[in-house]
Amino acid sequence: MGKRYWVEEVETIDRDQLEAYQLEHLKSQIKLAYEKSAYYKESFEKAGVTPEDIKTLEDIRKFPILTKHTIRERQNEKPILGDLVTVNEEKVVFISSSSGSTGKPTASPFSKVDFDEFQEVESRLFWQAGMRPKDRYIHALNFSLFVGGPDVIGAQNLGALCIWAGTIPTDRLLFILQEYQPNIIWTTPSYAWYLGETAREKGIDIKKDLSIRTIIVAGEPGGSIPATRKAIEDLWGADVYDFYGISDIFGACAAACEYHEGLHIAEDHLLVEVVDEHTGEPVAEGERGEMLLTTLRKEARPMIRFKTGDIVTYTNQKCKCGRTHKRINVVGRVDDMFICGGVNVFPSDIEYTVRNIKDLTGEYRVTVLTDNHITKFSVEVEKRIGAETTDEELVRIIAHELKTHLGIKPKEVVLLPEGALPRATHKAKRLVDIRTEK
Ligand SMILES: [Zn+2]
């Protein structure tokens, strides 16, 4: 038996000590932002706060919230890094760039210290997911500008044999999986599914011809939806570990452990707030709210109360694995949420339901529409080949299960034959919004 933790004293620290540590670093991070960044100085002054106002962790709530929009604006005004940075460009060694799915991409700068600490966190999370130096790891994430690209260095620093695959054609990836027999892979949940299905179609016996024992996934909530995780695990005969990352922070800053009861977030680097997305008030443990993140140790660009756009639940309870850092469950993106009949609906809620019905393939598409001035949604699903339930009965079951889980019925359930919905090779687009009124 080797060591259980990457850095035991950090991962299993008492919460009191952790919070004392966070407070000390929060003070210096806020001070750094105020003294070295023109943006923060201006925004703190506007809000009437100074670094001296931080006496407890809760005092963070007096400080202004930072949005993606502001980062974009400040980078447009002062290219290329904007005036949130606290160092000269000569100290910056790396930038990642966000996907730009909600506008012009923004650059996320790292100093040498930031980058090394980022990789140290990756090593910790990989170790937590069971990676050891004897493992062969294939990194099948995008290397082009994407913050998850360099995470492979964390695996390498841990001592694993690393294969820098990137996003290559599926045939080529399957060839590498056969040729080099890696036992750990990282990709998105939809692609893990697609890759497994493609392998099977090509006559590859996944459990015999390949050696994958662990699949790390990120980028979509699927990895934490039990039925989705189980479907991928059954297909591959492997364990699925969900990771969570964000371009403006780290490639991954939270990850599952072997108990899969939420993702441990690196609280020695981040102060986590979960707030009601409308009122900004903190929500209780177990309740859904938007996650705000404040960096505690970033040297090149502190992020103070960054609005992540992710809806999560959290718990501060110590995990069965002995780790004490907060655990989060990502429910979905604020942008993907729609309100129907007074209920907040996320595509992941629909996924949770359709993946649990055995006569369906698990693929789905949600369409949000306006019907007589009211927001409604319809769901398209695929009936599995060989399913014995009649179409009529299946539609009835789906509508009933959706109503039970969401508290609201879909306008329509459309049953399609297996294979009718498009398969995603990266992030699946499962929400179609054709509302004429919002
Ligand atoms: Zn744990």
At 222, the amino acid letter reads G
What's the 269 CA to ligand 1 centre distance in angstroms? 18
Q: Return the pLDDT at 101.
A: 57
Task: Give the domains, in start order, of the chain with CATH numbers.
Answer: 1-333 (3.40.50.12780), 338-433 (3.30.300.30)
**CA 255 to centroid of ligand 1, rounded, Å:** 9
How far is ligand 1, taken at its centre, from the CA of residue 298, in Å? 25
Q: What's the CA-to-centroid distance between 10 and ligand 1, angstroms?
A: 13
Distance 352 CA to ligand 1 centre (A): 22
332 membership: H or E segment, kind and range: strand 327-333
User: In angstroms, rounded to a whole number, what is the distance separating the alpha carbons of residues 275 and 296?
Assistant: 19
336 C-alpha to center of ligand 1: Å? 28
How far, in Å, is the centroid of ligand 1 from the Cα of 126? Answer: 13
What are the distances in angstroms from CA 199 to CA 162, 195, 236, 428? Answer: 22, 6, 10, 19
| Residue 401 CA to ligand 1 centre (angstroms) | 30
H or E element that contains 401: helix 391-406
- Amino acid 1: pLDDT: 61
Tell me how far the alpha carbon of residue 13 lies from the centroid of ligand 1, in angstroms.
13
128 C-alpha vs ligand 1 centroid, how far in Å? 8
CB neighbours of 150 closer than 8 A, spacing ≥ 6?
A: 94, 96, 115, 118, 119, 251
Q: Count of CB atoms within 10 A of residue 227's CB?
A: 16
Measured distance CA(308)–CA(337) in Å, rounded: 14
Which residues have CB under 8 Å from 326's CB, separation 6+? Answer: 264, 265, 267, 272, 314, 315, 316
Question: How much distance in Å is there from the Cα of 60 to the middle of ligand 1?
Answer: 27
How many residues in total does the chain contain?
438
Give the span between the Cα atoms of 405 and 355, in whole angstroms. 13
Residue 318 Cα to ligand 1 midpoint, Å, equals 8
Tokens 């009936």, residue? 383
Cα(241)–Cα(263) distance, rounded to whole angstroms? 9
What phi, psi does 58 have (nearest 5°)?
-65, -25
Q: Kindly give the residue spans of alpha helices, DSSP state H, lying in 146-214.
A: 151-158, 170-180, 189-201, 206-209
- Burial code (b: 16+ CB inside 10 Å, e: under 16) for 363-398 equals bbbbbbbeeeeebbbbbbbbbbeebebeeeebbeeb
Half-sphere exposure of 18 toward its Cβ, with a 13 Å CA cutoff?
21
Ligand 1 centre distance from Cα of residue 176 (Å): 32
Question: Quick one: pLDDT at residue 232?
Answer: 94
SS3 207: helix
Spacing, Cα 260 to ligand 1 middle (Å)? 7
| 158 φ, ψ (degrees, to nearest 5) | -70, -25
List % helix, strand, coil for the chain (3-state, nearest 5): 35, 25, 40
C-alpha separations of 209 from 169, 200, 243 in Å: 19, 11, 26
Task: Please tell me the distance between residue 167's alpha carbon and the centre of ligand 1 in angstroms.
Answer: 30
- Please name every residue paired with 330 in a beta bridge, in sequence order, or none if there are none: 312
Indicate the DSSP class of residue 422.
P
Tokens, residue 292: 């705000």
Residue 259 Cα to ligand 1 midpoint, Å, equals 6
- Ligand 1 center to residue 187 CA distance, Å? 21
Could you list the mean pLDDT of each consecutive 10-residue stretch along the chain, which spans 438 residues?
92 98 98 98 98 98 96 94 97 88 82 98 98 98 92 98 96 98 95 94 96 95 89 96 94 97 98 95 97 98 97 97 97 88 88 91 92 92 93 95 91 94 77 88
Q: Give the amino acid at 137.
A: Y
Burial label, 25 (beta-carbon count in 10 A; 0-12, 13-18, 19+): middle
